[in-house]
């Protein structure tokens, strides 16, 4: 008897062809699990290679279990940054508190990982590059779902048809835009703007984070390992997003320089370095919140669907967990509608819990009033004398199913 319908086993049918847009964290992680469940996977990335760089990111709780099941936990442990301390400073650069990073972020001792974003992306890419087709320097131009699959035209001119398409192309996902419309509908602004860039480590910092605060403003220098470069970070409160500067790097530099004019500590040197930086990244802090992540044969994963913002430190963990749950749902359901529904059911509560962490991050690192800053400082001085904080429940709130058996 030929199996039919939603419960039909994947092994009894031809290979599903899946296109993934974006080769950062969620894209290659999804590619790994889809390949493992017997799909023919293509990943298209607009950059010429997996992109390096970025601030260090965290892999925690349930996401640690995902990377363990992928077999890359030992590599990530080797790449772990192991920041020694986090020092908070007042307006003049005087020390408020010096703590372990775990005490500040709430991590599980010996289990959570902090790695360079580029290292995680490279490890994930290495896992799949021999098994999955990568199309670099290209991107999706049009998606047409009127037939029995998704007809895709690429900007290179190539045309192909896939059974499914997944947008893993980040916070400003073009796949989301083409499917669901402009980002403004889904972007939940969190009241901050930030600029990140690298600058020479002329401060002699090593494996540590320095955070300077005044009400509504923060400057941070992050010495990752013993590198001779520092990650610099300037963050400021704005009740409304400065929409007019988001596409104008010159105006972004001017805005940051104006906001931080007259600031103490090393902030003037940081502002000067920002003017010279060739890797400046400016954006608003925000979350993507959508009522649904799928439309027809196309769905979204990672930041494209549910970016939690850097304030939660959970972007990469959600990306890894979301990729696992989506691939598992597809392996169990030949019917993509049922699979996408199972994916949403499986991960939405976890996403909501982690997006809700944003208030903690904002209150700790970026108090906006003098009173909130003083309360924060009192809290930090208290932490100083306490043992490390326990892990946040939201990080581990999802129990992963065993991955669907090999077809
Ligand atoms: C270069 C870079 C630096 C980052 N730095 C930080 C950081 O410092 N701190 C932090 O918390 N998070 C950072 N992030 C975001 C972090 O990686 C994500 O929050 C998280 O890991 C979720 O990953 P994601 O794969 O879903 O999305 P992302 O990591 O945002 O990846 C999206 C990918 O899609 C690609 N892409 C975009 N548009 C298209 C298109 N039209 N066609 C094909 N591909 C496309 C991008 O080049 C990128 O590779 C950075 C991301 C990138 C790409």
Q: Give the CA angle between residues 96, 110, 95 to the nearest 5°.
A: 10
If you measure from the C-alpha of residue 327 to the centroid of ligand 1, how many angstroms do you get, rounded to a whole number?
Answer: 20
Q: How far apart are CA 325 and CA 339, in angstroms?
A: 10
Domain definitions of the chain by residue range? 15-80+113-186+287-361, 187-286+362-384
Tens of pLDDT, residue by residue over 211-238, are: 999 999 999 999 987 778 999 999 999 9
The total number of residues written for the chain in this structure: 407
Amino acid 11: pLDDT: 47
Counting residues of the chain whose pLDDT is more than 70, the rounded percentage is: 90
pTM recorded for the entire structure: 0.91
C-alpha 98: how far from chain center: 27
- 14 CB neighbour count, 10 Å cutoff: 9
Answer yes or no: is pLDDT of 279 > 70.
yes
If you measure from the C-alpha of residue 82 to the centroid of ligand 1, how many angstroms do you get, rounded to a whole number?
Answer: 23
Least confident of 22-36, 172-186, 369-383: 369-383
How much is the mean pLDDT over the chain? 90
CATH code for the part of the protein at 15-80+113-186+287-361: 3.50.50.60
Rounded average pLDDT over 162-168: 98
**In CATH, 187-286+362-384 is 3.30.9.30:** yes
Least confident of 94-103, 134-143, 263-272: 94-103
Amino acid 9: pLDDT: 45
Residue of 29, 31, 54 to mutate, ligand 1, most atoms within 8 A of C-beta:
54
Least confident of 9-13, 35-39, 138-142, 198-202: 9-13
Residue of 20, 22, 278 to mutate, ligand 1, most atoms within 8 A of C-beta:
22
Tens of pLDDT, residue by residue over 248-257, are: 999 999 999 9
Amino acid 391: pLDDT: 66
pLDDT band at 7 (very low <50, low <70, confident <90, very high): very low
Q: Is the Cβ atom of 312 under 6 angstroms away from ligand 1?
A: no
Least confident of 42-51, 279-288, 311-320, 357-366: 357-366
DSSP 353-367: HHHTTHHHHHHHH--
Listed in sequence order, the residues at least 6 apart from 365 whose beta carbon sits closer than 8 Å to its beta carbon are 211, 213, 218, 220, 235, 311
Tens of pLDDT, residue by residue over 65-87, are: 999 999 999 999 999 988 888 99
């Amino acid at each position: 008897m030929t199996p039919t319908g939603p419960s039909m086993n994947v092994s009894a049918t031809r290979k599903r062809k899946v296109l993934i847009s974006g080769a950062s964290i969620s894209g290659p992680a999804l590619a790994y699990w889809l390949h493992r469940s017997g799909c023919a996977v293509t990943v298209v990335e607009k950059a010429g290679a997996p992109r390096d760089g970025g601030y260090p990111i965290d892999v925690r709780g349930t996401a640690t279990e995902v990377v363990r099941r992928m077999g890359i936990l030992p590599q990530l442990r080797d790449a772990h940054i192991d920041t020694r301390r986090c020092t908070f400073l007042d307006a003049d650069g005087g020390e408020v508190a010096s703590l372990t990073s775990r005490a500040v972020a709430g991590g599980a001792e010996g289990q959570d990982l902090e790695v360079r974003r580029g290292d995680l992306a490279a490890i994930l890419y290495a896992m799949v590059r021999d098994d999955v087709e990568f199309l670099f320097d290209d991107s999706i131009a049009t998606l047409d779902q009127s037939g029995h699959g998704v007809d895709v035209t690429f900007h290179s001119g190539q045309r192909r048809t896939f059974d499914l398409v997944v947008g893993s192309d980040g916070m400003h996902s073009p796949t989301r835009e083409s499917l669901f419309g402009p980002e403004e509908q889904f972007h939940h602004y969190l009241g901050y703007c930030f600029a990140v860039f690298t600058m020479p480590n002329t401060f002699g910092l090593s494996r540590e984070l320095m955070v300077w605060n005044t009400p509504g403003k923060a400057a941070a220098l992050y010495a990752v390992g013993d590198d001779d470069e520092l990650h610099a970070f300037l963050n400021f409160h704005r009740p409304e997003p400065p929409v007019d500067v988001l596409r104008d790097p010159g105006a972004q530099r001017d805005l940051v320089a104006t906001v931080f004019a007259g600031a103490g500590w090393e902030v003037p040197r940081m502002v000067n370095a920002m003017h010279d930086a060739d890797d400046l990244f400016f954006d608003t802090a925000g979350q993507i919140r959508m009522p649904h992540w799928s439309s027809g044969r196309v769905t979204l994963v990672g930041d494209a669907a549910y970016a939690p913002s850097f304030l939660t430190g959970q972007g990469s963990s959600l990306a890894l967990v979301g990729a696992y749950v989506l691939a598992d749902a597809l392996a169990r359901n030949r019917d993509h509608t049922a699979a996408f529904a199972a994916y949403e059911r499986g991960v939405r509560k976890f996403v909501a819990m982690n997006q809700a962490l944003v208030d903690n991050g904002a209150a700790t690192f970026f108090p906006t009033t003098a009173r909130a800053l003083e309360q924060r400082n009192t809290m930090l001085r208290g932490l100083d004398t306490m043992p490390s904080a326990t892990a946040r429940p939201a990080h581990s709130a999802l129990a992963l199913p065993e991955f669907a058996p090999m077809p």
